[in-house]
Amino acid sequence: MMWFQTAVVLLASCATKSLAIFADEVNHLDFHHALVGVPSLQSTFFHRPSSTSNASLLYTISENLIVGAINPKDGAVVWRQDLARWAGSSSAEGFLRASDGESTVFSAAGENVVAWSATDGKLAWDSKLNGEAVKDLELLELEDGRTTNNEIRDVLALYGGKQGLLRRLDGSTGEVKWEYKDDSGDTPFQVSSSATEVFYISLQSALLKGHKIKVTALDSQTGRQTRNYILSSEGEVSTPESILFVGTNTASPFVAWADKSNKALKINILGSKQVHTLNIENAKGDEIRKITVHGPEGLNTLPHFLVDYETDSESWAEVYHIDLKSSSISKAYQLPRLAGKSVFAVSRKAANVFFTRVTEIEVSVVSSASHGILGRWPFNKPSNENIRNALAEVVSKGDSVAVRFAYVLDSGDLHLNRNGKAEWTRYESLSGAVAAAWAEPTSSEELVHELELEGHEDILAAYIHRVKRHARDLQHLPKWLQELPKRILTSFISAEVTNLDSFGLRKLVLVATKRGRVIAIDTGNHGAVSWNTKVTDTADWKVKGIKTESGIATVYSEDGNSVDLNVTSGEIVTQKTSESKARSVTFVPDETGTKSVTIPIAQDGTPLEPLHNPGYLVTLSDDGRVLGWAAGDNKAPVWQFLPSQGERVIHATSRPSHDPVASIGKVLGNRSVLYKYLNSNLALVTSVGQTSATFYLLDAVSGTILYSSKHEGVDTTQPITSAISENWVACSFWADLTEASESKGYQLVVSELYESPVPNDRGPLDSATNYSSIAGPNTLSRPYVVSQSFVIPEPISHMAVTQSRQGITVRQLICTLPSSNAIIGIPRNVLDPRRPVGRDATAGEMEEGLFRYSPYLEFDGRWYLTHSRDVADIQKVISSPTLLESTSLIFAFGGDIFGTRATPSQAFDILGSSFSKLQLLATVVALAVGVWFLGPMVRKKQINLLWKR
């Protein structure tokens, strides 16, 4: 009984230590940018999700159709939902609306209107109209707009297709209360409402050119048309974008547009046919580039609005008041002209309306009732980029006010400022990352270059070169001595894991986004952005590869163009254009092996540049062929591979460029050796049929099929992924589990390659000193393959393998799980295909780390590199070795950005964070003091013993 209790205690202590590892690593060794995307201009606002609290959250729907709530205190994401999943596309127009103090927010995109809980983002209901896309979404603020026995406002959803369709949806259930169809053929534009009516606004094509604005008034209870009128605006409204503003949910909603010369503002108060013409005061006569109208929402707010004017050099604004009794408009006051660009934001508190003005140097707040400045604070913009838009929340405190405002820069980054002081930044420009590459620090690259030079010289020249290099390093000695006390002090106070920059754990990752930007992320500084450079003005930049070398990063795009950037500063060095489009880009070593050469691949799989000798290359063509190319000839392939009839190639991969092998064999429990099949010329090709998937292992030099595995009953619409490293291959797919097709699920298949099934046997090439892949059919040996398959609980969308400097550390299979928004690292011993089937492992097998095979592979919670984080929409994971053999850097990108360190064999070459240097120092000091104090006593005792003899 005693042994059982002892075993339980030991197991419990081990479990506690395992859990403590993950607790120590969270937010310490890793970083996560939980991105929403670039906020939409019209659908970002502060909102109180509860009428009983004054606390508000920042709600937004991004250009990627991600709906989210952000905590204004620290910028953390409270919740987020992917509306593109409902819309079926991320290119649809998105809308987000909420009524102050209500617990539900409403969003729309594509054919769907979706209601979410404002506090936690849980789905309340969704409504879909097949074949019709939502053109506008508004809430019904009038009193009958509330659902019976409920505090949730009803929703007005305007659909635009062949005909306009306006629906009133129940705010609590999403059921249709009434709908209005427009059969006139006019273009539906927007919906608005006042305290008594609902207004449907459409654009009617004029006979010659332009559009007339048509306003249809509807009964809010039944949706029946009560009246309509047409405004003669065809001379000014050429496109829907010509309409500057349509107010809604106010006591006096209006529609505004300007004449073609931007000398007059035209306003129609909805419900009346009169068009008010407001002359624009432009004393200097500079051309007005932009006019923006800002109006508040809320039936009880004052009917005041602001018009913002912008020229190339100045900006100013005018505030107007609407008289509810006479339906007249009068100018209240004008905000002064200021040099540069100004951004305005409107906010309300009860019935009061406030306007916040943000310039290059200050922030100011005025009331809509008077031009007196209520508050003014200095403002320092974080970069030279312009502010796209801003939104503000003003709190009045007697005669003074406080303001916090969020603003979006041209890059897409979201910032929050409180009374002129920066609070936080969300790097939303990172959303939509399409490519990434590691970049070594410049000092490290220079040292590597110097060492390479020494390696190619004779002993004497290399020695002289090293002495000169060390002499040059003496110039840094004073600075090193100056920093030495601080380094010693911090090494004792701080944890060891925070001071490992000199071991290669601090690197830059260069990320290219589809919005035409290249961004540098410092992995050693919790993922902070080092620089952000705009390369091209596009919404869909197709990047094919990034090469970093000698302090220069080169980004290659699909159109054949490339740009060189300085890795340290992000400055654009050169830009090159090309007329040849590239399907992909590959980087191969040059003749010296010290640098890499870029080889663009055409759409038909042909290299656009010849290979250097010696060398070979494998490419894919658009028609599904796998082509092999030899050095010096890019006119015709050496070989080509076509899958079986009815199949098509979807993917091809090779071993990582850095894939060192520490041991050529696997030592068995009886001390015999299974020799690994190590071929650096392996290519793994994946092809799919209608209901099948086949994986081919090819020799990339000769195109010979070394091994193939075909799987039937595969759902080709599900993710099919694969990875290859050292002497093993892994692939994942969804397929039938039995021949009777009664069971279906996701599978993970792992295969290991050996030279022979017999231990201590090197196979047919045992006595050969060399061999050739193309000299003859008998010179290339085929591997002995051992495979096992596992049933896994969810799909894998991408695979990668950890990398270490020497390949000594056991590798992990890094898998992206899109269903749970997580990334896991599966240990290699778990995936060992030699695990015994149907029996327990023998003592010898247990020494190898083998244990009984189980067909179902449950993902252990300790494998999750992302811990409990929700890392969404990851498209690719890349890995990089460090100077510490135990540690590999992991970086994931796509939707979110995530980075961490992986230690598959534990951190055996560094001290853990629990190691106390102060305690060690105190112990050494105590021992020294004890020796000093007890030394005389021991000597005296020894002398006395001699006299007693």
C-alpha 655/C-alpha 356 separation (Å) is 57
Q: What are the DSSP E strand ranges found in 297-452?
A: 304-310, 314-323, 328-339, 343-349, 352-358, 362-367, 373-378, 387-397, 400-409, 414-418, 421-426, 433-439
C-alpha 728/C-alpha 748 separation (Å) is 13
As given in the structure block, the two tokens for residue 289 are 């580039």
As given in the structure block, the two tokens for residue 416 are 């929050």
Q: What is the chain's alpha carbon radius of gyration, rounded to the nearest angstrom? A: 34
820-877 pLDDT per residue, tens: 999 999 999 999 999 999 999 999 999 988 999 999 999 999 999 998 899 999 999 9
Output the furthest CA–CA distance in the chain (Å, rounded): 131
Of 181, 153, 157, 159, the closest CA to residue 168 belongs to 157
C-alpha 812/C-alpha 929 separation (Å) is 48
Q: What are the DSSP E strand ranges found in 206-324?
A: 211-219, 225-231, 243-246, 254-258, 264-269, 275-279, 290-294, 304-310, 314-323
Confidence of residue 20 (pLDDT cuts 50, 70, 90): very low
Q: What are the DSSP E strand ranges found in 767-811?
A: 784-792, 798-801
Supply the pLDDT for residue 452: 67
C-alpha 268/C-alpha 621 separation (Å) is 59
Asked if residue 456 has pLDDT above 80, the reply is: no
C-alpha 788/C-alpha 948 separation (Å) is 79
Q: How wide is the angle at C-alpha 668 spanned by C-alphas 663 and 671, nearest 5°?
A: 95
Q: CA–CA distance from 561 to each of 396, 588, 857 (Å)?
A: 54, 19, 45
302-329 pLDDT per residue, tens: 999 999 999 999 999 999 999 988 889 9
864-913 pLDDT per residue, tens: 999 889 999 999 999 999 988 999 999 999 999 999 999 998 888 887 76
For range 642-658, the mean pLDDT: 90
**Cβ neighbours for 28, distance < 8 A, ≥ 6 positions apart:** 497, 498
35-94 pLDDT per residue, tens: 999 999 889 999 999 888 888 999 999 988 999 999 999 999 999 999 988 777 777 889
Supply the pLDDT for residue 31: 93
Asked if residue 915 has pLDDT above 80, the reply is: no
Say how many C-beta atoms besides its own lie within 10 A of residue 832's C-beta. 20
C-alpha 599/C-alpha 622 separation (Å) is 17
Element holding 563 (H helix, E strand):
strand 562-566
For range 921-946, the mean pLDDT: 90
Supply the pLDDT for residue 4: 37
**Do the Cβ atoms of 810 and 904 come closer than 8 Å?**
yes
For range 243-248, the mean pLDDT: 92
Confidence of residue 580 (pLDDT cuts 50, 70, 90): confident
Q: For residue 604, is it left (φ>0), alpha (ψ between -120 and 50) or beta?
A: alpha
**Do the Cβ atoms of 91 and 72 come closer than 8 Å?**
no
Supply the pLDDT for residue 492: 63
Confidence of residue 1 (pLDDT cuts 50, 70, 90): very low
513-556 pLDDT per residue, tens: 999 999 999 998 889 999 999 999 888 899 999 999 888 999 99
Asked if residue 747 has pLDDT above 90, the reply is: yes
Supply the pLDDT for residue 767: 62
C-alpha 435/C-alpha 145 separation (Å) is 48
Supply the pLDDT for residue 100: 86
C-alpha 314/C-alpha 339 separation (Å) is 4
Asked if residue 199 has pLDDT above 70, the reply is: yes
C-alpha 177/C-alpha 170 separation (Å) is 7
Supply the pLDDT for residue 143: 62
**Cβ neighbours for 302, distance < 8 A, ≥ 6 positions apart:** 296, 321, 351, 352, 353, 368, 369
Q: Model pTM?
A: 0.88
Q: For residue 814, is it left (φ>0), alpha (ψ between -120 and 50) or beta?
A: beta
Q: Which amino acid is at 660?
A: P
Ranked by mean pLDDT, which of 209-218, 392-401, 900-909 comes out on top?
209-218
Supply the pLDDT for residue 743: 63
Asked if residue 448 has pLDDT above 90, the reply is: no
The secondary structure of residue 908, as a DSSP letter, is T
Asked if residue 147 has pLDDT above 60, the reply is: no
445 vs 835, higher pLDDT:
835
For range 676-684, the mean pLDDT: 90
Of 234, 90, 217, 106, the closest CA to residue 166 belongs to 217
The secondary structure of residue 287, as a DSSP letter, is P
Helices (H) and strands (E) in the chain, counts: 7, 62
**Do the Cβ atoms of 136 and 246 come closer than 8 Å?**
no
Say how many C-beta atoms besides its own lie within 10 A of residue 505's C-beta. 21
Q: How wide is the angle at C-alpha 21 spanned by C-alphas 18 and 22, nearest 5°?
A: 100
As given in the structure block, the two tokens for residue 748 are 């993970």
C-alpha 290/C-alpha 946 separation (Å) is 105
Asked if residue 435 has pLDDT above 80, the reply is: yes
Of 613, 592, 600, 593, the closest CA to residue 557 belongs to 600
Confidence of residue 2 (pLDDT cuts 50, 70, 90): very low
As given in the structure block, the two tokens for residue 155 are 């929703």
**Do the Cβ atoms of 814 and 879 come closer than 8 Å?**
yes
Q: CA–CA distance from 777 to each of 263, 517, 640, 702, 709 (Å)?
A: 83, 50, 17, 10, 22
467-487 pLDDT per residue, tens: 888 888 888 888 888 877 877
Q: Share the mean pLDDT of the chain.
A: 87
Supply the pLDDT for residue 581: 86
For range 396-417, the mean pLDDT: 91
Proportion of the chain above pLDDT 70, given as a percent: 90
C-alpha 276/C-alpha 272 separation (Å) is 11
